[in-house]
Structure 1
Amino acid sequence: MEMVREMMGLPVEQGNAVLDDGLVMRVGIPHKGGKLAFHAFNEGFPVMVSANAFWQPATQSFQFPQATDLSELDFAMDSAGYTAMKMWQAKGTQRGMAGVFPWTYEQYIEFATLCGASWWSQPDLCCEPEIAHNQEEIDFRINATATLLEGVLRVLYEWQNQLAKTCSASVVASMLRPPVPVVQGWSVSDYERSLDLLNAVWERWQPWLAAPALIGVGSVCRRNLKHPKHGLFAVLAALEGKLPKGSRLHLFGVKGAALSEVKMLDWVASVDSMAYDFGARIKARESGISNSIAHRSSEMSRWMSAAANRMRPIPGDQFRLNLFG
């Protein structure tokens, strides 16, 4: 009741994303603009971009370009957890969140909420084997991901309180939108525990927040799809029955080969991938050609076309409905 009394001037039941009915494929753009973003704009591709693309180490600040095709795109923002972790491993303790990110809570939240992204993800700590070398490290990162979510929500709540002194609830809600929370881990049990922690954090902030419309699933791009303990399909099967009512998933960095199965899960809202860019480098090296922007753009279109084909319904598909939504 105390929180309810405190937030009488605040928006309530705030959603963290507005979602399409079908499965959305977002193509990863490694830059804050340029010709790859222009190509995605021309093709009408939804986009995923990393917060790291906008970070300026020299000034220790985020900078959104004055002119970029991203402004005209449907783009979502990833918190750059993998890049931050690699930087932390190479350079040691950083000045920002958790001593891992180079930017603070305040810098990230301000940029993420004002840049025009369709949605933005909470800061999270990835758990791929080349980054997290044992179960102790994985457990720590799962706990830290939940702690980072709590930190983001505390800052956001305080900022909304301050803004509510001079603005209407609708203005507050439009200016400072909640993040997409993220579950992390490597094995099925890791993700189940991460989701339990996520739910415990998020529920503390209701009814200021609605149940998350979208939840991200991290560390999925470098894994076997069908392994019984840490395969993507096993992880998704375990998460399905524990999702908050109405919540759907975004899969960060999913393999194209997974799409023919993922498309039949109506509780998966979206996926993203930069596989086209990795493939472009490999093809250019093997063919002895320059990995030019034109080559990368062509590979983007080819990859997205193949992804669209995998996502298209075909005879024999058995679409699974979310029985817990």
Structure 2
Amino acid sequence: MNDPLPKKRSITVMVGLPHLAAGKLLERARRLEQPVLISANALSRWSKKRGWREWAGWRISALDNAASLQSLSLDSAGFSAMVTYGGYPWTLDDYIGLAAAYPFHWWASLDYCVEHQVAGDRDEVLDRISRTIRANIECRLRAEDQGILANFMPVIQGRLPFDYERCADALSGTIERAGLVGVGSMCRRPIHGPEGLMAVVDHLDRVLPPRVRLHLFGVKGEAIPYLTVFAHRIASIDSQAYGVAARNEARHGGRLKSDAIVADHMERWVHAQHARLHQPRRQLPVQAPATEPARVDDPWEAAIVEARQQIRELIESGDLDHDETTAPWIEQWAADIYRERMTA
């Protein structure tokens, strides 16, 4: 990822696969010669030995089936983990072990997504950005120990465009070394608007060093004709959206969703995305930039804001664990700040 970038740049379409089991789906991916992205969740083993479903390690043997793919990259499955399990069921060290088990083209940092389904308010968004910053730092440190830093891809998070800038600034050295950064919380984002996909990409294009390129996770196909204007900045996109169409076809036909059905939809999806890459570029509409929330004047509410910020800084510095729950401490923390200000 440190090689000089070519002058003529294009956006690579990566295919997200739901598994790496030998069969028609994997064979079709080989034949299409597309780079593949696999989620850590798709490589997980589960057990009910203790009466409930719990994570039981990785299915490392499945990676043997990927040998003849054009390339294979690894995603940490942040959104799926948060929505399905309420958090990562595996530890950071578990994930690093998986990243070290195969020569991935790149493997993404653990991150904490901020989609509305996961982060309901502004404070939760900011908390999760701080956790993402620390998780990136921890992944990088362990990658150095394991000798897999060369294919490590940092990931930035945010709700508003300048959220991503703040995250990138905190990881600037790591991002510049990698030359490629993943942009999370993209898949459920609208294309346009002050919080839209295009606003985020446009802002990052303005603030990141010229040689740094982006991987956009889970981008909608209809966004591609707008994204091509940023082909100098966007290295790749991925999606597994074809699986939804395959599920619908199987349900309407009264059949099980087989790998053969999914493979047909995947092939049609790949051809459709490449056709979109060659459509005329669409004009980015003029839109008002997103703004920072207004300053809080109420002394107690201001103390709450300050307490949250101090906790986030401790998470980013590593003095608090990035996955540690901080909510029970906030009011007491804020009370101390409030008293100090009132008696100053």
Q: How would you bin the TM-score normalised by the shorter chain?
A: 0.7 to 0.9
Who is 1:150 aligned against? 137
With over 3 angstroms needed to count, the CA separation of the structure-2 counterparts of 1:66 and 1:126, relative to structure 1, is closer
- Conserved 8 A contact 2:16-2:238: yes
Measured in 2, the distance between the counterparts of 1:213 and 1:29 equals: 25
Q: Secondary structure at the match of 1:45?
A: coil
Larger radius of gyration between Structure 1 and Structure 2: 2
Q: Which of the pair has the greater relative contact order for Cα pairs under 8 Å at 6+ separation? A: 1
Task: Answer yes or no: is 1:306 the counterpart of 2:295.
Answer: no
Shift of 1:121: 0.3
The equivalent of 1:261 in structure 2 is 226
Distance 1:66 1:278, change over 3 A: closer
- Equivalent residues of 1:17, 1:214 under 8 A apart: no
Is 1:52 equivalent to 2:24 in the alignment? no
Residue 202 (structure 1) aligned with residue 174 (structure 2): yes
Residue 273 (structure 1) aligned with residue 239 (structure 2): yes
Aligned match of 2:286: none
1:81 alignment counterpart = 78
State the shift of 1:39 in Å: 1.4
Of residues 9, 22, 27, the one that matches 1:34 is 22
Bigger shift: residues 239-248 or 229-238: 239-248
Q: Aligned residues: percent identity?
A: 33
- Report whether the alignment pairs 1:127 with 2:114: yes
Q: Any conservation in 1 of the 2:225–2:282 contact (CA below 8 Å)? A: no
Deviations 1:201-259 (A, max 9, x none): 627xxxxxx622211011111111011x2110011111111213411000000000011
Match of 2:102 among 115, 126, 133: 115
- SS at 2:67's partner residue? helix
Distance 2:31 2:237 in 1: 20
Q: Secondary structure at the match of 1:264?
A: helix
Mean Cα deviation higher: 186-195 or 23-32: 186-195
Q: Which moved further from structure 2: 59-68 or 128-137?
A: 59-68
**Counterpart AA for 2:244:** F
1:251 and 2:247 correspond = no
Q: CA deviation at 1:296?
A: 1.1
Structure 1: runs of 5+ lacking an equivalent: 1-13, 90-99, 161-174, 204-209, 319-325
Aligned residue-pair number: 273
Match of 2:150 in 1: 177
- CA displacement at 1:18 relative to structure 2: 8.6
CA deviation after TM superposition for structure 1 residue 191, in Å: 1.8
The alpha-carbon distance between structure 1 residues 182 and 16, as it changes in their structure 2 partners (threshold 3 A), is: farther
Deviating 4+ runs (over 6 angstroms) = 16-20
Q: Which amino acid aligns with 1:219?
A: S
RMSD: 2.7
